[in-house]
Amino acid sequence: MLKIFKKSEQKLIVAGLGNPGVGYQNTRHNVGFAIIDTLCKRLGIELKSTKFNALYAKLKVADKTIILLKPQTFMNNSGMAVSQFVKYYNISPQNVIVVHDDITLPLGRFKIKQGGSAGGHNGITSIIDFLDSQEFVRLKYGVGAKPLKEMNLADWVLQRFNEDELKTVESSLPDAAEAIIDIINNGVSAAMNSYNSNIKGQT
């Protein structure tokens, strides 16, 4: 039986962030979508339904309901979709996992965190604003820092991975998906202990 990190609740949201459309596929900003796709394959489901400007699917495990979703509102308005699911299913922010790109982590590494500021990520800023809470869980997936300090951040995160980078990403996506399952099964603290210790030189 699943052990949700807020045990009094029976529902959980896992939201991967990204931008809709083929033009954004394999960009750094869309790894949240890629991890959700990998998780869906792992669980044997597809995001076939649409609600609240998001692709979503519901998964029942024992007495728990897990809602997987990919907002289609574009990154900067991610909170619009996430908040509507939170309200509709009456889920606390603590039981929301948001999966997103992070430029402070090395490519292919990821970190689990609960709460905290947006750290300059517009998608996270939107979710904090719409939920009026910072207490949701994040799985932050490293896409690497800008190669040049003067480079525009939007240009960097909207850039596609090159062939070598894509191999690194594809090899690490299953681990990121398993980390989400670990959060669901064992709680945030246990998952942090299992996965965050593997990040060298990061805080």
29 is catalytic: yes
Q: At 10, is the pLDDT very low, low, confident or very high (cuts 50, 70, 90)?
A: confident
Catalytic residue chosen out of the listed positions 11, 28, 29, 140: 29
Residue found under tokens 């990821």? 110
Q: Is 99 part of any domain?
A: yes
pLDDT for res 3: 47
Tens digit of each residue's pLDDT (9 = 90 or more) over 49-104: 999 999 999 998 666 789 999 999 999 999 999 999 999 999 999 999 999 999 99
Q: Residue 140 sits in a domain of what CATH number?
A: 3.40.50.1470
Q: At 1, is the pLDDT very low, low, confident or very high (cuts 50, 70, 90)?
A: very low
Q: What is the pTM of this model?
A: 0.92
Q: At 185, is the pLDDT very low, low, confident or very high (cuts 50, 70, 90)?
A: confident
Domain that holds residue 25: 11-197
Q: Is 202 part of any domain?
A: no
Q: Is 6 part of any domain?
A: no
Rounded Cα distance, 50 and 201, in Å = 40
Q: Is 145 part of any domain?
A: yes
Q: Is 182 part of any domain?
A: yes
Tens digit of each residue's pLDDT (9 = 90 or more) over 122-144: 999 999 999 999 999 999 999 99
Element (H, E) at 140: strand 137-142
CA 11 to chain centre: 17
Q: Is 3 part of any domain?
A: no
Q: How far is CA 92 from CA 7, 58, 60, 97, 135, in A?
A: 11, 17, 18, 11, 9
Domain count along the chain: 1
Query: Does the CA dihedral 154-158-162-164 come out positive or negative?
Result: positive
